[in-house]
Chain A
Amino acid sequence: MSALRVLVQREDIDVGAELARLEALGGGGIASFTGVVRGEGGMEMLELEHHPGMTEKVMRDIAEQAADRWSLVGVTVIHRYGPLRAGERIVLTAAAARHRHAALEACAYLIDWLKTEAPFWKKEHFADGRSAWVETRKSDAAATDRWRA
């Protein structure tokens, strides 16, 4: 059984504390991915909306799939919602495994699946008052498809 930690929260993510928690599981290899809001093209604020009943279930399913596929010692998936400014963390995926390849691959798998399966929507707010919902990108679906092989 691997240790699963899945959270949907408004608060910031304490990456150091989360990685220390995974290190303490005794796996030997810990990999992580942190997503941070990009402040491009005058974007001041990113608003993240989610489906409260569904989000955690979908994230837990994805974490369980990764844990099984790579026999992970531990998995951590934390996603924020609400208004986020450029430079703020949005998401953390992390995996603890006995060996580095499993940890690194699991971590990439987690973030690829989150992007296409977790019910979050992003709206960009710009300095000039414009705002727009972010459209999906074909590259996101392609990133997920590679794990189906």
Chain B
Amino acid sequence: MAIDLLYFAGIREAIGLSGERVDPPASVASVVDLVDWLVARGNGYVTAFADRTKLRAAIDDRFVDLNASLAGAREVALFPPVTGGAA
């Protein structure tokens, strides 16, 4: 099933895209599976996801654990830890 991916901050820059639509195989069941599948494409994906401790995800606008299931997901956002606000 096709999923819309969104990339932000350093991950967006490393991949060189702000988002894309992908159609991963059925074996891709979780966010981690999805990231592994993207990394297999090489290049910017390898750099973007090199440090998994600094990877955060949201499915359909809700923060999720990286082990979260992709079942029913329409949109997956991948990004570094947030640094909003000031002071």
Could you list which residues of chain A lie within 8 angstroms of chain B, going by C-beta atoms?
A: 35-38, 48-51, 53-54, 57, 79, 90-91, 111, 114-123, 133-136, 140
Residue of A whose beta carbon sits closest to that of B81:
A136
Q: B83 within 8 Å of A by Cβ?
A: yes
Nearest CB in chain B to that of A136: its residue? B81
Q: Which interface class (under 10, 10 to 19, 20 to 34, 35 or more) fits B?
A: 20 to 34
Q: Assess A122 versus B83: contact at CB under 8 Å? Given A49-B8, A54-B77.
A: yes
Candidates A49, A53, A118, A123; contact of B85 at CB < 8 Å: A118
CB distance from A41 to the nearest CB of B (A): 16
A120 touches B84 (CB 8 A): yes
Given A54-B61, A57-B61, A133-B80, answer yes or no on A49-B86 (Cβ-Cβ < 8 Å): no
**Do A51 and B85 have beta carbons less than 8 Å apart?**
no
Contact in complex: A35, B85 (CB < 8 Å):
yes
Main secondary structure of the interface of A (DSSP, over half): mixed
How long is the Cα–Cα vector from A80 to B58 in the complex, in angstroms? 21
Q: Can you list, as one digit per residue, whether each of B62-86 has a CB less than 8 Å from chain A (1) or not (0)?
A: 1100000000000101011111111
5 extra interchain contacts, Cβ-Cβ under 8 A, other than A51-B79, A136-B81?
A: A50-B84, A119-B82, A121-B79, A123-B9, A135-B81
Minimum distance in angstroms from A68 CB to a CB of chain B: 19
Contacts of B80 in A (CB 8 A): 121, 133
Q: Does B6 touch A at the CB level, under 8 Å? A: yes
Bound CA–CA A133/B82 (angstroms)? 10
Q: Which residues of A contact B40 (CB under 8 A)?
A: none
**Which chain B positions have C-beta within 8 A of A121?**
8-10, 79-80, 82-84
Check B85–A114 contact: CB distance below 8 A. Answer: yes
A-B contact pairs, 23 of them (CB 8 A): A35-B85, A36-B87, A37-B86, A38-B86, A38-B87, A51-B77, A51-B79, A53-B75, A54-B62, A57-B61, A79-B85, A91-B84, A91-B86, A111-B87, A115-B84, A116-B82, A119-B82, A119-B84, A121-B9, A121-B80, A122-B84, A135-B81, A140-B83
